[in-house]
Amino acid sequence: MPAESRSVNLIDLESIDLINSPSVKIYQESRLLNSYPEWSQIEEWLREMGIKKFVTLHQIGKTHEGRNILLLQIGENNGDKPEIFIDGALHAREWISVVTVLNIADRLIRAYEAKDDDYYELSHNIVWYVIPVVNVDGYVYSHTTERLWRKNRRLPPHRSNCYGVDLNRNWNISWSGYGSENYACSNIYHGPEPNSEPEVKAIISYLEKRKAHLKAYLSFHSYGQLIIYPYSYDIKKEPRNIEQLKKVSKNLSKETDGRYANGKASETLCTSTDWAAHHLKIPYTFTIELRDTGFYGFLLPSRYITPTVQESLKIIKVLSRTIIDENNIISE
């Protein structure tokens, strides 16, 4: 990892002059990429990246509590390149997904700038759309109030005092089916109707605009160390390109030295990717369940961030090169 990304000790950030100094900018970036950052730090980093010539920051929606849903675009979508969409934190408590997606974005941006970096081919020949935190309200709440909060922060329905909807049960594919609940206090409450939540609506709207060019959608979650392909809501239903999905998922698993199992789930684990595969026919849709396998669960210590990121970058590299080869792209 570059020197700027090493962990450093906490320092006093109250002085405005100090905050604006280069050394503190390096500190903030290091802290962001090697620990579990708060939303304010993430938002600041995204805005700093958005200033770069080849990066665009999009506000694609607002949450129930009025926070921005931010998407980072890396590369120009002029229509002649394949595109990949990745997101993290549909579930608020899955902090490792956030810092993993941030590190992927950082790696691609650095590669684009360096031009001779190992990941330059990926950043130059593919347009990337990155949402580090889909469930912003829930993520903030998990930092300030309840660490294991899962849902968003939708106001309670009539005659209930229970907040939130499980964003991964709200998609209009097998909605209200097995693996979800109609009870608002449940952690897997599917919401009042399909696609009711602003976070889900924002992703759907953006994906539909780019569907002609999107070749992959990766949704990062935790935990389990799994690479899951569609369809999860029906074990008997399979995408048309199932054999290719099996082959690629096996290659992705192999790249992690078998630490991540690959296969199909049938417990409604990944309905955002199910929706993308079914409605938009995006060829490669995977849910990546990150570390670990259950010892720490959602409370994964920060010392495991680096190996988790390294594994995820390997997955990204293999999938990207598969797409580059399939689209007959010749690197410059």
Contact 108, 119 (CB under 8 A): yes
Nearest CA-CA partner of 174 in 30, 271, 282, 287? 271
SS3 138: helix
Task: Please compute, for residue 286, the number of CA atoms within 13 A of its CA located in the half-sphere on the CB side.
Answer: 32
Residues with catalytic function: 289
**Burial of 26 (C-beta count, 10 Å sphere; 0-12/13-18/19+):** middle
Task: Please compute, for residue 87, the number of CA atoms within 13 A of its CA located in the half-sphere on the CB side.
Answer: 29
Count the neighbouring beta carbons within 10 Å of the beta carbon of residue 11: 10
Residue 26's DSSP bridge partners are none
Structure tokens belonging to residue 293: 């396998």
Contact 36, 95 (CB under 8 A): yes
Nearest CA-CA partner of 2 in 79, 84, 110, 152? 110
- Give the Cα separation of 72 and 86 in Å (integer): 10
